[in-house]
Amino acid sequence: MSFNLRLLLCAMWAVPAASGCSGVAVAPPVTSPSSVQTQRVAPAATAVAWSNFGFDAGQSGFNNLEKTLSTSNVGSLTSIWGGPGSYDTGIGGIVEAGGVIYMSVAFDGNIGSSALQALNAQTGKVLWTTNTGGGFGAVAVGDGRVFTVADDSKDVCAYKTKTGAQVWCDAGNPTKYGPIDRGPAYSGGAVYFSIEGAANVEDILEAANAKTGATLWVDNGGSNLAEDQDPPAVAKGRVYNYCSQGGSNPDMGICAYDASSGSLIWTFVLATKTSGQEIHLIVGHNAVIYYSLHHDIGSINTSSAGAINSSGSQLWSDSFTVSGGVESPFGITTDDKKLYAQVDSPVSDSPEGLYAFDVTTGKQKWHVSLPPSEGDFGSIPSVANGVIYTMNQTGGGGGGVVALAASSGRVLFETPSGFGDTDGARPIVVNATVYAPCGDSNGGICAFGLSQKKRK
């Protein structure tokens, strides 16, 4: 028998050495943990990474490389590991790279007890946990580092992907600046993040070397940046972030910066600042900038979604309107066909909804909401291969993963309730697997995939 044939047979049957397999390296059989409910097929050698909060540095939320999960089979998702439970763990962000899940967590709902965790993406086994000293938010990974906020959200820190050992922290000036806004973005060897200014100090946007933490550039984004913003969006050599321009009541807008130098390229004004506002900003794979805006003007609330081209010119704008009032945008994602916006309702006991807009015309294509018994949509959505993934939330922070057809908003899949509060984390979809917050004792995250039969 040839060596190659003997190697193949030994690998297939795990034949012991006594039967003639001595000298042949045979991988040990995989032992599934007790929580595994279905046999999963290992990712391909060319596995895809979800390396930023929104998949790519543009924060689009669109995994265009997912080809296995689709509208035809997503209804057959089953649990791979993890499960619902009573362990109240807040999750600020989830990313995946090299077969490892990285996430920022707050134990028992206490943000002061926060950590960065790494888990085996196949089994859910915790590989390491690093205390981040309070504060948690979005996570990004690149250059052998994991980046997230730390020290009560006053720092952005880098940790080694293999061990969790801290490499550097950018503390800025803690007496001059407040918390990091949402978390960092990683692109091309640099980390980008915005920092809130303390009293009478304007906010800033900063770029740092991903390996060393050395400051590359700092730009003054103007005072009173918008609330609850996402990580900066980085695409095609530019960084897009929220900014304000001029005076004690500055205009709120979106600014485009050169990613290498930090030079301001253009500013697009969205609204005149008179009160609170919430803006979400992403860049599609088509290089179009999309936003959602909620703006309070006294007793009047206005909300809209829109698109801007790379030159800073408006392409379209449309408002969120439903019977009973204007809704407040919670988060957006795009697959370059539609812009999907998840919103809150101002009406008591009224469910949140999910809107779809045509990315070319801005025309509203559909709007759906969950039945009251199933709670509200409760996370920023993600999209892959014609399927939207988000979370629903029932009373007390329970809920689960919901998958909807991107073409119509039709619900294709729902997990049982009781999966816990997302606290900002979105479901991610990578290598035919959905990873989502779930509040169980196995790290507060659950994985869903298809059985080997269903994948064929």
Q: What is the pLDDT of residues 51-70, one digit of tens each?
A: 999 999 999 999 999 999 99
228-263 in b/e form (b: 16+ CB < 10 A) is ebbbbbbbeebbbbbbbeeeeebbbbbbbbebeebe
pTM of the model: 0.83
* Residues in a beta bridge with 415: none
For 126, phi then psi, to 5°, come to -70, 125
Q: What is the pLDDT of residues 325-334, one digit of tens each?
A: 555 566 899 9
The verdict on residue 117 lying in a domain is yes
The verdict on residue 24 lying in a domain is no
Q: What is the pLDDT of residues 198-252, one digit of tens each?
A: 544 556 788 999 999 999 998 865 544 444 468 999 999 999 988 765 555 556 7
The verdict on residue 227 lying in a domain is yes
The verdict on residue 214 lying in a domain is yes
Looking at the predicted structure, is the pLDDT value of residue 122 above 70? yes
For 164, phi then psi, to 5°, come to 85, 5
Contact, 189 vs 220, CB < 8 A? no
Handedness of CA 163, 169, 47, 415 (dihedral sign): positive
Cα-based torsion angle of the residue sequence 355, 360, 363, 369 in order, rounded to the nearest 10 degrees: -10
Please, which pLDDT band fits residue 121 given cuts at 50, 70 and 90?
very high
More confident of the two residues 211 and 370? 211
Highest mean pLDDT among 44-48, 78-82, 350-354: 78-82
The verdict on residue 8 lying in a domain is no
Structure tokens at 212: 């060393």
The number of domains in the chain is 1
Per-residue pLDDT at 331: 83
Contact, 454 vs 76, CB < 8 A? yes
Per-residue pLDDT at 424: 65
The verdict on residue 38 lying in a domain is no
Domain at 413, CATH number: 2.130.10.10
The verdict on residue 252 lying in a domain is yes
Please, which pLDDT band fits residue 342 given cuts at 50, 70 and 90?
confident
| Amino acid letter for position 362 | G
Q: What is the pLDDT of residues 162-204, one digit of tens each?
A: 999 999 987 554 444 555 557 899 999 999 988 765 544 556 7
Per-residue pLDDT at 444: 75
Q: Which domain holds residue 80?
A: 49-455
Per-residue pLDDT at 150: 82
The verdict on residue 1 lying in a domain is no
